[in-house]
A and B are shown apart, each in its own frame.
Chain A
Amino acid sequence: MNGGAAALAVVQVVVMLVVSPLLVGLMRQTRARLEGRVGAGVLQPWRDLRKLAAKETLRASGTGWVSAAGPLVLVASGLLACALVPLVGAVPFVSVPDDLFVVVSVLLVGTVALALVGLDAGTAFGGMGSSRHMTIAALVEPTVLVAVYALSIPVGSSALSRIVLARIDDPASVASPVSLLALVALAIAVVAETGRLPVDNPSTHLELTMIHEAMVIESSGRDLGWLELGSWLRLGALLGLLGSLLVPWGVAQDAGVAAVLVGVVTLVLKLAVLGCVLAAAEVFVAKLRLFRVPELLAGSFVLAFLAVTASYLVVQAG
């Protein structure tokens, strides 16, 4: 099965590379339309990437190899996450575990790379953004772990593909209290991790309020392009994971051409729907005061924790 798994991973990476910028474009466009603006179009992120790739890369004086390597590490971790998370298909690798701990660690590598890029130039904004980013990451990662752990208890495995497969076999488990609590917790964590409202405002011009944008403020040209693409890949992977857990149908269970095609189409649909829902929700919320963000994340952690507790109760009752 390893050959099939590898082929699927390649398909997932290619699909996500193409789709992630479009997902961001779709979210921006949805928000623009809902606010009564014309919007730049779904293709704008791709145009931005093309523009950034063609521009000269300027680095602040005093920056070292971190500024050059960080963006690439972020993209690499995003691509790796796209390969490991069951998006198009849930075919487990034999040698490489798509274990949830592995996936979270892979994402964390990207988080740290981004934070280091923010610190490298030694400016106040970058450091400020990195410090806020790490604070939020420290609160988000446990929630992601605990939420997916809650989902893994009924399955008896922490491999994400097994969890998704178990949900296809037993659709009732999707609507179970454990699953709902865990998914809500996961959704909040995804919003925080990807820097969306109400935690971070991706469209602000106010330097002092920024989190993600503050870290990339000193980057330009290709560096900035990689950073943007890396962040979009993370958004795509996390939303895709949420989609696969929420609506597991359509996920390919083998590496056959037909199954993969269905998998790709359903993945794109799920991402589009989730992206539109997230963007529409953003229209109605304002950005939280920074000191309220831990309260929100603590709330999501409590939900995840309740999910774990509930899963033990359900298992014992069964």
Chain B
Amino acid sequence: MTQRPRTEVLETTAADVRGLVSARLSEGFRTAMVAGHEDDDGFRIVYVLVRAADDRRCEIVLRTPHDRPEIPSLAGVDYPVGRFEREIRDLYGVVPVGHPLPYRLVRHGHWPQGWYPMRRDADPEPVFDSDVGSFPFLEVEGDGVYEIPVGPVHAGLIEPGHFRFSVVGETILRMKARLWFVYRGVEKLFEGRRPDEAIELTERISGDTAVGHTLAFCLAVEEAGGILVAEEDRLVRALLLELERMHNHVADLGALANDVGFGIVNVHAQRLRETLLRLNKATTGHRLLRGGLTVGGARLTALPDLEVISSVAREVAELADVTLGNPTVQDRFAGTAVLSSEAARSIGTLGYVARASGLDVDARRDHPVVDLGDAFEVVVEEGGDVRSRYLVRARELAVSAAVIADLVRRLDWRLGTGRTQAPRGGVGSGLGLVEGWRGTIAHRVELDDSGLLGRVKVVDPSFFNWPALPVALTDVIVPDFPLANKSFNQSYAGNDL
């Protein structure tokens, strides 16, 4: 790392926060996260804004007392901020005053009244009520309008989420998703751990994104603790990140074909994924790439076999040709579940969802950790439909394969130092931004004076992308929903935490 990204920290008051945040947003910053904290003297809300153009980061700090925890709502300024405010309200009990949608987000009906799980005095094992309040859904009324409730337990082996469709005939009028069925209090589990003992947690935030979340966490700890990472280790980290992207994209490319009944493509995609998982095992000792990253370093057990990587990339390209060459598949993909570029931008989408709607965002370029070389390019498609999200994945996979080849060559038989470094000591905070396979992952870490983790705030790109799904469902018919949902393929565990 040649130059540490400059982070600007601004203390503000309830009266000024709106103006300050709006000013930064109009200067090209985007909201990376809004994190709640509980200090001895009250609650502290940190608005983290980042700018892609020059990798500048800005933290705006707002304090509110214990006895009257309130912040002015900025939901009208920026949509993602409004969602973070609802999250903070449910986890810390800090009320966003004037919020246009003052409904619960994380909280489920069976949580005891006044139980805010992230507070210091929160009972770790509260007595849960039955879910009497249930979850209020807006009822759509009219001739022939009916509701289809789906989940949270599904027929397939997928994570829990409840979807409520208001439908007339087969056309979806409105869809509301209810998530947070797998809220595990992950952020709370970090508190008081040594940073290197937290790796086992970060690798399990979202099982398919072990590298992405762990790397974001390591970067945040390293910034907070003043740890420098060797060039060799940074190359290894980039390599692991691309390996993770490859095996996930292959699985999605097959699953999308499977969802339109084109099963043979899925069978081959599964075979290729298995090839990659075995390669992962040979590379790190774990099929999902756990164990490769350490705080302050990284280590491989072997470099990946480039023959395998390039043959998988070649076969995936052929599979994508076969898939898109089928007229029925083409008809199912094209024009289905369109997310317009304006909607994608105002919702704050990230990752392939954003790039398929024409937004040129990628943390690998915007917040670089290591130079990825000429093989790297950001893939952007304009359509915003299922086909575009398919194409972005297919093209990104090819880019990843090329980047891996380049990184392996640059590593030149080095496997990484595998060093674990302790923070330099003293209070500090840091932000890690990583382009995981789903999109930009953000971790913000605060270290206390003994070098232990004080507060870790985790943001999976799914938190930003979930609200885009209902928007994309305009004019979509019910039997196309599973396909649309798969094309977004958001994480439940990463969102729910």
Residues of A within 8 A of B (CB): 31, 34-37, 124-125, 127-128, 132, 197-198, 201, 203-209, 283-292
Contact = CB atoms under 8 A, between A and B. Distances in A.
Interface residues of B, number: 30
Given A36-B267, A124-B148, A205-B156, A286 B261 contact: yes
Interface string B137-179: 0000000001111100011100000000000001000000000
A124 B165 CA distance: 10
A80 B372 CA distance: 69
Nearest to B149: A124
A208 B267 contact: no
B267 A204 contact: no
Contacts of B134: none
B477 A35 contact: no
B149 to A, nearest CB: 6
Given A198-B261, A201-B261, A209 B149 contact: no
A125 B268 CA distance: 31
B150 A291 contact: no
B207 interface: no
Contacts, number: 80
B26 interface: no
Interface string B256-269: 01011111100110
B268 A36 contact: yes
B482 A209 contact: yes
Nearest to A204: B261
Interface stretch (B274-282, B310-318, B328-336): B328-336
B154 A289 contact: no
A208 B478 contact: yes
A27 to B, nearest CB: 13
27 contacts: A124-B146, A124-B147, A127-B146, A128-B148, A201-B261, A204-B261, A206-B259, A206-B482, A207-B150, A208-B481, A209-B482, A283-B263, A284-B264, A285-B262, A286-B257, A286-B260, A286-B261, A286-B262, A286-B332, A287-B328, A288-B328, A288-B331, A289-B479, A289-B480, A290-B479, A291-B170, A292-B331
Contacts of A287: 260-262, 328, 332
B150 A208 contact: yes
Nearest to A127: B146
A283 B267 CA distance: 11
A288 B331 CA distance: 8
Nearest to A31: B263
B2 interface: no
Contacts of A37: 267
Given A124-B146, A209-B482, A288-B328, 4 more contacts: A128-B148, A206-B155, A207-B150, A285-B326
A286 B259 CA distance: 9
B148 A208 contact: yes
A294 B149 CA distance: 26
A213 to B, nearest CB: 9
B149 A286 contact: no
Contacts of B477: 289-291
Contacts of B155: 205-207
B264 A283 contact: yes
Contacts of A203: 263
A290 B263 contact: no
Contacts of A201: 261
Q: Enumerate the 8 nearest inter-chain pairs by beta-carbon distance, A residue then B residue, closest first.
A: A287-B261, A205-B156, A124-B148, A206-B482, A286-B262, A286-B328, A201-B261, A209-B479
Given A207-B150, A208-B481, A291-B170, A34 B328 contact: no
A37 B259 CA distance: 18
Contacts of A206: 155-156, 259, 482
A297 to B, nearest CB: 15
Contacts of B479: 208-209, 289-290
A8 B257 CA distance: 46
A286 B156 contact: no
B271 interface: yes
A242 to B, nearest CB: 22
B482 A286 contact: no
Contact of B271 (A36, A125, A283, A286): A36
A145 to B, nearest CB: 26
A286 B147 contact: no
Contacts of A286: 257, 260-262, 326, 328-329, 332
B482 to A, nearest CB: 4
B48 to A, nearest CB: 37
Nearest to B266: A35
A198 B327 CA distance: 12
A124 B164 CA distance: 11
A203 B326 CA distance: 20
B299 to A, nearest CB: 36
Contacts of A292: 331
B154 A198 contact: no
B150 A35 contact: no
Nearest to A205: B156
A34 B259 CA distance: 19
Contacts of A284: 264, 326
B167 to A, nearest CB: 8
Contacts of A36: 264, 267-268, 271
Contacts of A125: 148
A70 B55 CA distance: 65
Contacts of A35: 263-264, 267
Interface in B204-240: none
Contacts of A204: 261
Contacts of B480: 289-290
A68 B186 CA distance: 48
A147 to B, nearest CB: 24
Contacts of A132: 170
A205 B259 CA distance: 9
Contacts of B481: 208
Contact of A208 (B262, B263, B268, B482): B482
Nearest to A290: B479
A289 B331 contact: yes
A216 to B, nearest CB: 12
Nearest to B271: A36
A30 to B, nearest CB: 12
A35 B329 CA distance: 18
A60 to B, nearest CB: 14
A204 B479 CA distance: 12
B471 to A, nearest CB: 18
A224 to B, nearest CB: 14
A203 B263 CA distance: 9
B280 to A, nearest CB: 22
